[in-house]
Chains A and B, each alone.
Chain A
């Protein structure tokens, strides 16, 4: 499976211009000798992340965006370069309720299909973040079937909660796609921002623990002084980062991944299988198996 991740730097709120840039990236991807199966773009890729009240002016209905992206691919990549799957983060207008969403789209030469829309569940609303002031939170974490097997999408803070990749993997996801927009912070010694380091640590730990590929698409560029930390990457199910972009600037990263690595990794370290067996007990132990602790059985 051939994957491309577009690390983009959108102009704030300028959808037309950002679509032009995305189309150029599509053309670049299609212009290579290889056939790409999946193209991933970051969170809020067509607008920039910090929109405040302008989010209502720059939100798309998923069906409308699907049509735009399918047309954009065909115009810039050509119908000969289909089928292709595209994942892109966007602000969604769902009949007047607004979400921070990501679309998984399948594009054929003459047709397209929305495979899945994930609505961000954890809306950061602290410090520099203000998402829940403007957006509603998604209510469902769903693993969904693609032509490359089952996947799940986690948007930015969704992936800072270990339970999210865990549940996604339990639900059968073998690939985690993480569109993100992460404003960088933390300048202590070490050669990279502390927030970038944290991202890499959590993503690698998820990949190893659950035996999944992680495709991380980071937004880049400064938004009102806040620098988005790019650092798009592909992490294999052994926890190795097989390709990564720097924090700054626009990039296209590319990887050929062997989905059978997932089976090899899980056979070597069967933690997900163990978790599947034990999880019901963890979640239901009080109801199913009353447990007497040694402390309560103190003998005189």
Chain B
């Protein structure tokens, strides 16, 4: 009787890799912040909006490592409908790091405009709040001689889940190439308070709002699908790997509908010296 050979079967698919070496990532991003602020611009201070969420908490921790907490200015910018928990969670970051903090309520500024637009829906109101926060952040930047640091992650950038020329406007962003699930990994490594890492992410522009509710998909699923899309995989391939066709379609639609949000404004080209078309210089030149 023939003995059957033991079969060792290769897995059909390798799972999309979202795990990061958090220690290495932190070291890399700290060096990035030091080079960009101190090395290139000669600026020793950072200013950032501390929302109470995990993204800005991670950036605060990184900036404190890179520059020293005394050089990190955290600005809390609540609107009247913002959750009190957000302020408290932001305070937990301040307490952990010992960095400078200031609370500047944006209600009067936001309502000062919106009184003329009483019919503005939640999305428009949220955009006004986001843009007002950037107005504050850039003014504080000038006052404090501190560079604004961005806190947008790769997932929200890809899904277009941000206000154009608001959340994405700071000149330096350490976490913009990290998916949300990777930001969570980094947060745990850095020691961001667990209540911030574990809570449901929210833009906190409306009551009881959550990101995953707004988006219609969990971050874990979205990140896995995004990783496959960005690696060049077709939708049929992603579905064949077990992802729900509706989830794949949702993510694809959001990515493909928001390319414009990841670019500078479109400028009509008229010459052989059009900026960024013919006249090409790197940002650090």
User: Among the listed stretches B15-23, B110-118, B202-210, B213-221, which one makes contact with chain A, having 4 or more residues with CB under 8 Å of it?
Assistant: B15-23
CB proximity of B18 to chain A, nearest CB, Å? 9
The answer to the question of B1 belonging to the interface, with a C-beta cut-off of 8 Å to chain A, is no
CB proximity of B274 to chain A, nearest CB, Å? 12
* Alpha-carbon separation in the docked complex, A215 to B284 (Å): 29
The answer to the question of A184 belonging to the interface, with a C-beta cut-off of 8 Å to chain B, is yes
Nearest residue (CB) in B for A47 is: B285
* Alpha-carbon separation in the docked complex, A189 to B279 (Å): 40
Contact with B along A158-196 (1 / 0, CB 8 A): 000000000000000000000000001001111111000
Kindly identify, within residues 207 to 222 of chain A, every residue whose CB is under 8 Å from any CB belonging to chain B.
221-222
- Dominant secondary structure at the A interface: loop
Take A191-B21, A193-B24 as given contacts and tell me if A222 and B35 are in contact as well, using a CB distance cutoff of 8 Å.
yes
Nearest residue (CB) in B for A58 is: B285
The answer to the question of B280 belonging to the interface, with a C-beta cut-off of 8 Å to chain A, is yes
Contact with A along B245-285 (1 / 0, CB 8 A): 00000000000000000000000000000000011111111
User: Among the listed stretches B26-34, B97-105, B120-128, B190-198, which one makes contact with chain A, having 4 or more residues with CB under 8 Å of it?
Assistant: B26-34
Nearest residue (CB) in B for A48 is: B284
The answer to the question of A124 belonging to the interface, with a C-beta cut-off of 8 Å to chain B, is no
The answer to the question of B167 belonging to the interface, with a C-beta cut-off of 8 Å to chain A, is no
Whether B17 and A188, one on each chain, are in contact in the complex, defined by CB atoms closer than 8 angstroms, is yes
Contact residues in B for A221 (Cβ distance below 8 Å): 35, 39
The answer to the question of B36 belonging to the interface, with a C-beta cut-off of 8 Å to chain A, is yes
Contact residues in B for A12 (Cβ distance below 8 Å): 40, 282, 284-285
CB proximity of A196 to chain B, nearest CB, Å? 10
Contact residues in B for A50 (Cβ distance below 8 Å): 282, 284
Whether A54 and B25, one on each chain, are in contact in the complex, defined by CB atoms closer than 8 angstroms, is no
* Alpha-carbon separation in the docked complex, A187 to B23 (Å): 10
Whether A248 and B284, one on each chain, are in contact in the complex, defined by CB atoms closer than 8 angstroms, is no
Contact residues in A for B36 (Cβ distance below 8 Å): 222, 225
Q: Which of A9, A52, A192, A227 sits near B280, CB closer than 8 Å?
A: A52
Nearest residue (CB) in A for B186 is: A187
Contact residues in B for A225 (Cβ distance below 8 Å): 32, 36
The answer to the question of A53 belonging to the interface, with a C-beta cut-off of 8 Å to chain B, is yes
* Alpha-carbon separation in the docked complex, A119 to B282 (Å): 23
Contact residues in B for A248 (Cβ distance below 8 Å): 27-28, 31
Contact residues in B for A54 (Cβ distance below 8 Å): 281-282, 285
Contact residues in B for A193 (Cβ distance below 8 Å): 24, 28
- How many residues of B are in contact with the other chain, CB < 8 A? 24
Whether A52 and B24, one on each chain, are in contact in the complex, defined by CB atoms closer than 8 angstroms, is no
Contact with B along A38-58 (1 / 0, CB 8 A): 000000000010111110000
Whether B35 and A189, one on each chain, are in contact in the complex, defined by CB atoms closer than 8 angstroms, is no
CB proximity of B43 to chain A, nearest CB, Å? 14
* Alpha-carbon separation in the docked complex, A11 to B42 (Å): 12
Whether A187 and B284, one on each chain, are in contact in the complex, defined by CB atoms closer than 8 angstroms, is no
CB proximity of A40 to chain B, nearest CB, Å? 23
Whether B282 and A223, one on each chain, are in contact in the complex, defined by CB atoms closer than 8 angstroms, is yes
* Alpha-carbon separation in the docked complex, A225 to B175 (Å): 11
Take A189-B19, A189-B21, A190-B21 as given contacts and tell me if A224 and B28 are in contact as well, using a CB distance cutoff of 8 Å.
no
* Alpha-carbon separation in the docked complex, A53 to B275 (Å): 11
CB proximity of B33 to chain A, nearest CB, Å? 9
Contact with A along B167-184 (1 / 0, CB 8 A): 000000000000000100
9 smallest CB-CB distances across A and B, nearest first, come from A222-B35, A52-B280, A53-B280, A187-B20, A12-B284, A224-B283, A50-B282, A248-B31, A224-B284
Q: Contact residues of B with A, CB < 8 Å?
A: 17, 19-21, 23-25, 27-28, 31-32, 35-36, 39-40, 182, 278-285
Beyond A53-B279, A188-B17, A227-B28, 12 additional pairs, beta carbon < 8 A: A9-B35, A12-B285, A184-B28, A187-B24, A187-B182, A189-B20, A190-B21, A221-B35, A221-B39, A222-B31, A222-B36, A248-B27
Question: What would 23 A/B residue contacts be, using CB atoms closer than 8 Å?
Answer: A9-B35, A9-B39, A11-B40, A12-B282, A12-B284, A12-B285, A51-B282, A52-B281, A53-B279, A53-B281, A54-B285, A184-B28, A188-B19, A191-B24, A221-B35, A222-B32, A222-B39, A224-B282, A225-B32, A227-B28, A248-B27, A248-B31, A249-B31
